[in-house]
Amino acid sequence: MIQEDQLNWQRFRSGDKKALERIYNDYRDKMYSYCLYVTGDREMSHDLVQESFAKLLESPNLPEKVESVKNYLFICLRNQLFKHLEKTKVRREYLATAILDSQPTAAAEVSCETRRFLQDILGKLKPDERDLILLRSHQQLSPAEISKITGLSNEAVRVRLFRIRKKMRQLAGEL
Amino acid sequence: MNRCDQFQKLISDNLDTPLDSGMLNELQEHLASCDDCVRFSETAGNQDLILKSLPIQQPEGDAIEVQITDVRTGMINRLWHLRIRVPLPVAAAALLIFVAWQLIEPETTPSESIQGRPAAQSRVEYLQTERMQPAVARLISSNQTKSKGVSQ
């Protein structure tokens, strides 16, 4: 997969738009899911993913090689996400129903425990806390990869993950 | 950070990267006698599993959007370039000319003759006619009315 990604990236850099389409199809859903679970907003998540790929298309200075295409895409996406969150500053209620119920298939797979978790625990974290815990546990990125994406040191990532897990435990204890 | 915090940090680290055997043994010894840390380990582990199993969501729309965005961006770039090539004074002059032309432009909409004013007559011609001697103006007007009556 990594080799295929690298090949697609090089082809895209050479002007092959079909290669970007392949990259888009491979990572669109993961990027969208990540945004959705961080923001709780389908429309915003959709726009953020589109903007990230539009930026890639417009960018004149793409790196020749990337260590990980997935990590690079998440760096672009996070930049858009936090820029947007900074601009909007409107506190929207984080609704598990908004995330799950518009897709009947997805809703069928999800248990009550998961719904409660989304609404009462994940929904009560700050966006930057959700960001980090989702990158680790949902997107399965290692602390080293998260460190490269966020610009934090490896140890800082681990300490923050620990604090987020403690907070999540406290929130679970309040239920 | 107290002793339990340190071990709970190890529990958290272990979820991300397996601990070496020495640290793992130390942790397991602690867990044998600390209920709070055991509960933390269970809760953190369960929540980690829930996060892992959150469904991958799909946006509406499909992969073709990458192409559409490309075309749209290209069109927007071309329109933008067109816009900035027209200098402001030129645009202002063009606007003034257009407005003046609209004022001078003869009426083309057919209208009923109102109080002797022939329908097809241009506004300019009408004004010129009215500025002529009133007698001549009335003569022209009556001739036109007569010829209209003959043709009917």
ipTM above 0.95, yes or no: no
Query: With a CB-CB cutoff of 8 Å, which residues 14-33 of chain A face chain B?
Result: 17, 20-21, 24-25, 28-30, 32-33
Mark yes or no for CB contact B69/A21 under 8 Å.
Answer: no
Alpha-carbon span B141 to B118, nearest angstrom:
7
Q: Which of A30, A53, A121 sits opposite B56 (nearest CB)?
A: A30
Relative orientation angle of helices B35-52 and B21-31, to the nearest 10 degrees: 120
A2 CB within 8 Å of a chain B CB: no
Alpha-carbon span A82 to A77, nearest angstrom:
9
The answer for residues whose C-beta is within 8 angstroms of residue B5's C-beta and 6 or more apart is: none
Q: pLDDT at position A130, please?
A: 95
Alpha-carbon span B45 to A171, nearest angstrom:
15
Instruction: Indicate if the pLDDT at residue B67 is higher than 50.
Output: no
Q: pLDDT at position A112, please?
A: 80
Alpha-carbon span A144 to A71, nearest angstrom:
11
Query: With a CB-CB cutoff of 8 Å, which residues 72-101 of chain A face chain B?
Result: 99-100
Alpha-carbon span B106 to B125, nearest angstrom:
10
List, as one string, the DSSP characters of A134-169: IIIIIS---HHHHHHHH---HHHHHHHHHHHHHHHH
Alpha-carbon span B37 to A17, nearest angstrom:
52
Q: pLDDT at position A48, please?
A: 93
Rg of chain A in Å (alpha carbons):
17
Alpha-carbon span B10 to A83, nearest angstrom:
34
Mark yes or no for CB contact B40/A133 under 8 Å.
Answer: no
- What is the number of CB-based contacts under 8 A between chain A and chain B? 101
CA angle in degrees (0–180, nearest 5) for B27-B22-A135? 65
Q: For residue B81, give how far its alpha carbon lies from the nearest alpha carbon of chain A (Å).
A: 16
B148 vs B22, more confident: B22
In tens, the pLDDT along B106-124 reads: 655 444 444 444 444 444 4
Split at pLDDT 50, 70, 90, the class of A113 is confident
Mark yes or no for CB contact B50/A46 under 8 Å.
Answer: no
Alpha-carbon span B96 to B94, nearest angstrom:
6
| pTM of the shown model | 0.69
In tens, the pLDDT along B80-115 reads: 444 455 678 888 898 999 889 888 866 554 444 444
Alpha-carbon span B61 to B74, nearest angstrom:
21
Strand partners, B114: B117
Residue in A with minimal Cα distance to B63 = A25
